[in-house]
Chains A and B, each alone.
Chain A
Amino acid sequence: DAKTTQPPSMDCAEGRAANLPCNHSTISGNEYVYWYRQIHSQGPQYIIHGLKNNETNEMASLIITEDRKSSTLILPHATLRDTAVYYCIVRPRLLSNFGNEKLTFGTGTRLTIIP
């Protein structure tokens, strides 16, 4: 799986958009970008994933650059409950259940929402 680079920490004011960057310059053509977050002491929570087109769901938007070497997770209106560690993960999107499926978590970005 391609490695990812994220800033160790970021702050964002409550109500503003939080933009979390991720570099994945060695990403290959069949690898997707996934984002998870982990709120203190809880299990990780899936946020969103994408291949090359921008994606949006009820939680966030994912912007992937045209060369796919970096991406940005956008939380449009950050709240205090969004304070968490955010993980950017790059891996193939397997079409079967057989194989070494896993998520390789790095150390992520610790996002703090400031009141």
Chain B
Amino acid sequence: NAGVTQTPKFQVLKTGQSMTLQCAQDMNHEYMSWYRQDPGMGLRLIHYSVGAGITDQGEVPNGYNVSRSTTEDFPLRLLSAAPSQTSVYFCASSPPGQGALDEQFFGPGTRLTVL
């Protein structure tokens, strides 16, 4: 298994540009989520999904959209990038069943800079 993969690893955008951060997992996990991590801070939840077709907002959803058309993929879209969205973005997934989220598997991260 490749686990959780994220692309791209690095990205530089200009203010106002749009882009999609890709996240995929091959472990048949139902739960997937997106976090952002800013310097000196912990991770903050942006959006999450408990299964295909179901998404919900986390604590910092503004400026981001998500969709979940398949179990494997959970892309994060920035519609109009702002410098405040400069951050490292992590995608995570966890298996279903009792004790959901006992162990979340994180991807390697995407480092985004918005100029």
* CB-CB contacts below 8 Å: A32-46 with B: 34, 41-46
Tell me the count of chain A residues lying within 8 A, CB to CB, of chain B: 24
* A44 and B106 in contact, given A105-B42, A108-B42 (Cβ under 8 angstroms): yes
Main secondary structure of the interface of A (DSSP, over half): loop
Q: Mark B53-68, 1 if CB is under 8 A from A, else 0.
A: 0001011000000000
* A103 and B108 in contact, given A43-B92, A97-B30, A97-B96 (Cβ under 8 angstroms): no
Give A95's nearest chain B residue, CB to CB. Answer: B98
Q: How far is the CA of A43 from the CA of B96 in the complex (A)?
A: 21
| A102 lies within 8 A of B31 (CB) | no
| B103 lies within 8 A of A44 (CB) | no
Say if the beta carbon of B74 comes within 8 Å of chain A.
no
Q: Mark B2-27, 1 if CB is under 8 A from A, else 0.
A: 00100000000000000000000000
Contacting A94 at CB < 8 Å: which of B41, B100, B106? B100
Contacting B102 at CB < 8 Å: which of A44, A45, A93? A93
Q: How far is the CA of A107 from the CA of B38 in the complex (A)?
A: 11
Give B101's nearest chain A residue, CB to CB. Answer: A101
| B33 lies within 8 A of A102 (CB) | yes
Contacting A97 at CB < 8 Å: which of B41, B90, B100, B105? B100
Say if the beta carbon of A106 comes within 8 Å of chain B.
yes
| A43 lies within 8 A of B31 (CB) | no
Chain A hits for B40, CB < 8 A? 107
Chain A hits for B59, CB < 8 A? 102
* A44 and B51 in contact, given A95-B98, A103-B101 (Cβ under 8 angstroms): no
* CB-CB contacts below 8 Å: B36-94 with A: 40-45, 48, 50-51, 56, 58-59, 90, 92
Say if the beta carbon of A100 comes within 8 Å of chain B.
yes
Say if the beta carbon of A49 comes within 8 Å of chain B.
yes
* A43 and B30 in contact, given A97-B96, A101-B50, A107-B40 (Cβ under 8 angstroms): no
Which of A's residues lie within 8 Å of B, judged by CB?
A: 34, 41-46, 49, 87, 93-98, 100-108
